[in-house]
Amino acid sequence: MGNWCLVLVVILVTVFRASAQGELRTGFYSSSCPQAESIVRSTVEAHFNKDPTIAAALLRLHFHDCFVRGCDGSVLISGSSAERVALPNTGLRGFEVIEDAKSQLEALCPTTVSCADILALAARDAVDLSSGPSWGVPTGRRDGRISKSSEASNLPSPFDSIDVQRQKFAAKGLDDHDLVTLVGAHTIGQTDCLFFRYRLYNFTATGNADPSINQAFLTQLQTLCPKNGDPSKKVALDKDTQLGFDVSFFKNVRDGNGVLESDQRLWGDESTRKIVEKYAGTIRGLLGLRFDFEFQKAMIKMSSIEVKTGTQGEIRKVCSKFN
């Protein structure tokens, strides 16, 4: 009888730990806050209608959040030493969209929907509004209680070689396929002249342009970003369809029309080139759909990195500060 009691206690403790740990699942708020996803969607849509470039900003915000301490909303915290002020996070925006959705959710369902989940949902809605795919977002994340700028050094950089990109993604459980697929989000992105102008005029300190840039595109970029021009001028990462979520980004990389060095390097590595080729084929419809499908899978995988669930972390009342 004593042994059976011991076994029962072990089982109960195991079950309790499992339930406390929890897992992400679609429809997590179906009972606790049924309108959660629709409120996030309407909020993103309202901001998107005023400024369609906010879609790429929200996608980038979620990506940068997940690469530091996992997808726990730590990038949303404000403060002089917080994650969002780190150099790799320069130019992050869209914080007001998350705060807007959070304030509405707090009024309707106090201390229920995490900022980390709002970020994940907003990223999905941003892609959908840009004529990209939509997918069921597993939710149930909780917000982290730590945010340090010093921990953001592992974020991918536009200057990274393929080996460095591969290492940074692998550290988060993401492989080459995930890397190329997620970088495809640059189809709706933009960047500053500051981050690629060296490729146009003084690549590797030679005084010449990066030879991997298509000559006609080089002329376009030099017109957009003069040698001594405004370093903060914005340039589309996809020269053809900046606001449309499609495969033209991969065609650009294939053709030497990648803006960032890190993007163009995808073509120079045998493993990543094969994946770019798959997405950049000539049949727009079929290959576009394939990228849509693969992007959904990669986003679900990325948005599950080191998540906090169950009793871990907290549910913030305001996304920019800890409770």
SS (H, E, C) 166-182: HHHHHCCCCCHHHHHHH
CATH 1.10.520.10 fits 25-154, yes or no: yes
Is residue 87 within 8 A of residue 29, CB to CB? The reply is no
Mean pLDDT score, 9-38: 70
Q: Which residues are catalytic?
A: 64
Distances (CA, A) of 243 to 29, 117, 226, 301, 323: 31, 24, 24, 24, 37
In this chain, the answer to whether the domains covering 25-154 and 162-302 adopt an identical fold is no
Domain segments of the chain: what residues?
A: 25-154, 162-302
> What CATH number should be reported for the domain whose range is 162-302?
1.10.420.10
- pLDDT tens sequence across 123-180: 999 999 999 999 999 999 999 999 999 999 889 999 999 999 999 999 999 999 999 9
3-class DSSP state of 139: strand
Quickly state the pLDDT bin for 288 (edges 50, 70, 90). Answer: low
49 falls in which pLDDT band (50, 70, 90)?
very high
Torsion of CA 109, 47, 129, 274, to 10 degrees: -100
What tokens does 219 get?
Answer: 């002329």
How many angstroms from the chain centroid is the CA of residue 61?
6
Q: Which pLDDT score, from 0 to 100, does residue 3 have?
A: 46
pLDDT at residue 281 in the model: 81
Q: Looking only at Cα atoms, what is the longest distance across the chain?
A: 83
Instruction: Give the CA angle between residues 299, 282, 255 to the nearest 5°.
Output: 80
Reply yes or no on whether the pLDDT at 90 is more than 70: yes
